[in-house]
Chains A and B, each alone.
Chain A
Amino acid sequence: MVPLARRNLLSEKARFAMSIAGVAFAVLLILIVVSLYRGWSNVGRFYTQLPGDVWVAQPGTSDPFHSTSFLPLADAQRLTKVDGVRTVIPVYARHIAFGAPGHELDVFAMALDVPPTVRLRSNTYEPRSGTIDIDRMLASQAHVGIGDSLRVLGRPLVVASIHSGGNSIFQTAFLNAADARALFGIDDFTNFLLVSVAPGARVATVTAALHQALPGTETHTSEQFATSFADRVNAGFLAVVGVLVGIGFVVGGAVIALTTYTATVERAREFGVLKAIGASGTFLYRVVIRQSLIVGMLGAALGVASAVAATRLIRYGVPEFITVLRPLDAAGVFAVAILMAIAASYVPVRRIDRIDPAEVFRA
């Protein structure tokens, strides 16, 4: 078959390139927004990385970041005796303000009071007294490095290590448990109890036993906290994300429609010639739809490739923006771009219907 659609598009190379760039930009915009959304949704995964399976908290707690809880420290001892419990770690957690040069930063500080009998894989969670572990984002925003000092609640703490992570919503810091108790002023209390389930024990069974042992508390798995966190973040972001994704699709669709329509209108006489020499409606529609698809597919492919590159750049250049570009999202946006391309050819197809082949006799 003569590649008429391709030839029509290539006859105006500059416009063709701009159309592809337009669609690519729209797809890029959509994918960046979606990947930011996915990134924020994943922020709550932080809870699942801590050394425990079940969190015991005061009733009405959503997750440690969004609400606090107070429990008697002695409850930790009671829980260690529950069947199926391997370890119980009191967790101190609250938002605190840091004095950084020139500005103040808010940080979510945690301290894990790890019993001497428990060994954690990472030292991040239990810094020595007088030191603090901060995430990379906080270090960047506070302009501090390892060995520098930070004033936390009036007390200087030396940065002992910097762990990866952090984002523009919240930064995390780990304190020594004894320091946390002193700084937070809660000697006989803790905020949460993080329980590890013994190998072979079922989380559900242990959770039920925890309720029995400590009536008046509630339990959440780390996964539930992560989900609860994601739900709260999403509730705030979803509307914005929806609007931006919608704008992206409208822009992309408009670019494809405009390109195809212009290419059709400009070649109206030629479509009239094809009609006059016997081209069926289907033959002509196929040309127009192919034009749309070429612009849509090339634009979407370029957009996806740009999004992959952009999310990598963002990850390294602007780490506070967490981006997670899932292949399924990229494939979905690509597919929607193709559907948009088909839909965008509706108006040019209608235009072709109205072309009168008798016009071609006019000199």
Chain B
Amino acid sequence: MNPPLLEVERVSKEFGSGPTLVRAVADVSFTTDPGEVTLIIGPSGSGKTTLLSMVGGILRPTSGRVVVNGIDITSLKRRELPRVRRELVGFVFQTFNLLESLSALENVEIALNIAGVTGQVARERARALLCEAGLEQRLHFSAQALSAGERQRVALARALANEPRLLLADEPTANLDSEAGRDVMALLRGLTESRGHAAVVVSHDPRLREVADRVLRLADGRLASTESDGRTALLEAVASSPMAREGADSLRRVARAVRRSRLRW
């Protein structure tokens, strides 16, 4: 049996001290296998984003362990964490967080530059990713000139640029209309299946329950419940739709293109 791609073991995070001490995440444990989509839901302030930040090596847990692809990132030194974030993890944010002064192509290319891939190689790889994401007509558009759905697709391409093992998405559909949200989730679902990667998605969007393999519900920083029967009719509907199929096929091609020049950990 393959080990899980992500192991979160009794992770807690506290902010402040004394009377102002806040326990944002308390004793949360879960695992995610390759090809799985794990959805974390919960009310505002329940610790979802804090948990995601710890899984991505942005925040350091107060206690507990996070293991990504066999690497205990909680034991790494602070200066080693950026490498984890650029090579093992891809981030998709609620507000897209594209660099406004750059074009769509450059937004993806810069993620490659950060990982040391530069010049024509980086440019071609970024172009391929955006073409596969259906943005071949928008390559040189400024990030500001793109629609919300297009921005999120650029953000997804950026997250995939260095072929991460784990994709972390924070409310990826919150700023999208239902159609664009469905597109993005189809891409995300297709990615995890085609590439054997894993995704952890934080969301309020009830539609996402149906594309998730596992749903974790957080309340007051604690894991309140786990559902493992995630994928239902909507997933099947999404997976069987022509757009999703095309998206999944595209992503497989992207994955192959990226794998050819992948960075090794």
Contact = CB atoms under 8 A, between A and B. Distances in A.
A277 B114 contact: yes
B113 A1 contact: yes
A275 interface: yes
A4 B102 contact: yes
Contact of A363 (B56, B58, B90, B174): B174
Interface in A274-311: 274-281, 283
A275 B84 CA distance: 11
B97 A273 contact: yes
Contacts of A270: 97, 99-100
Contacts of B111: 277-278
Interface in A329-363: 357-358, 360-361, 363
B106 A2 contact: yes
A10 interface: yes
Contacts of B93: 273, 360-361
Contacts of B84: 278
Contacts of B89: 278
Contacts, number: 84
A358 B106 contact: no
A11 B84 CA distance: 31
Main secondary structure of the interface of A (DSSP, over half): helix
Contact of B58 (A1, A267, A358): A358
Contacts of B99: 4, 7, 270, 273-274
Contacts of B159: 277
Interface in A224-260: none
B102 A7 contact: yes
A269 B97 contact: yes
A277 B159 CA distance: 8
A260 B91 CA distance: 28
A274 B110 contact: yes
B52 interface: yes
Interface residues of A, number: 25
Contact of A360 (B82, B97, B109): B97
Nearest to A272: B97
A294 to B, nearest CB: 14
Contact of B49 (A273, A274, A361): A361
Interface in B137-169: 158-159, 162
A149 interface: no
B109 A2 contact: yes
Given A4-B102, A361-B49, A361-B93, A283 B58 contact: no
B58 to A, nearest CB: 5
Contact of A361 (B53, B79, B82, B100): B53
Contacts of A8: 101
Given A11-B100, A278-B86, A278-B87, A357 B58 contact: yes
A146 to B, nearest CB: 64
A363 B86 CA distance: 22
Contacts of A361: 49, 52-53, 58, 93-94, 170
B118 interface: yes
Interface string B48-67: 01001100101100000000
Contacts of A276: 56, 58, 85, 91, 97
Given A283-B114, A358-B58, A361-B52, A277 B101 contact: no
B82 A278 contact: yes
Nearest to A5: B101
Count class of interface residues, chain B: 35 or more
A4 B82 contact: no
Interface string A8-47: 1011000000000000000000000000000000000000
B86 A279 contact: yes
B115 interface: yes
A275 B58 CA distance: 9
Nearest to A274: B114
B171 interface: yes
Contacts of B158: 277
A281 B80 CA distance: 11
Contacts of A2: 102, 106, 109-110, 113
B46 interface: no
A278 B112 CA distance: 10
Contact of A277 (B52, B85, B174): B85
Nearest to B126: A2
Contacts of B87: 278
B179 to A, nearest CB: 21
A277 B91 contact: yes
A1 B59 contact: no
B256 interface: no
Nearest to B57: A278
B95 interface: yes
A198 to B, nearest CB: 71
A266 to B, nearest CB: 10
B83 interface: yes
A273 B170 CA distance: 13
Interface of B: 49, 52-53, 56, 58-59, 79, 82-87, 89-91, 93-95, 97, 99-102, 106, 109-111, 113-115, 118-119, 158-159, 162, 170-171, 174
18 contacts: A2-B113, A4-B106, A7-B106, A275-B82, A276-B56, A276-B91, A277-B90, A277-B91, A278-B83, A278-B86, A278-B89, A278-B115, A279-B82, A280-B82, A361-B58, A361-B93, A363-B94, A363-B95
Interface of A: 1-2, 4, 7-8, 10-11, 267, 269-270, 273-281, 283, 357-358, 360-361, 363
The 9 closest A-B pairs by CB, nearest first: A278-B86, A278-B85, A7-B101, A11-B101, A273-B97, A2-B110, A2-B106, A279-B114, A361-B49
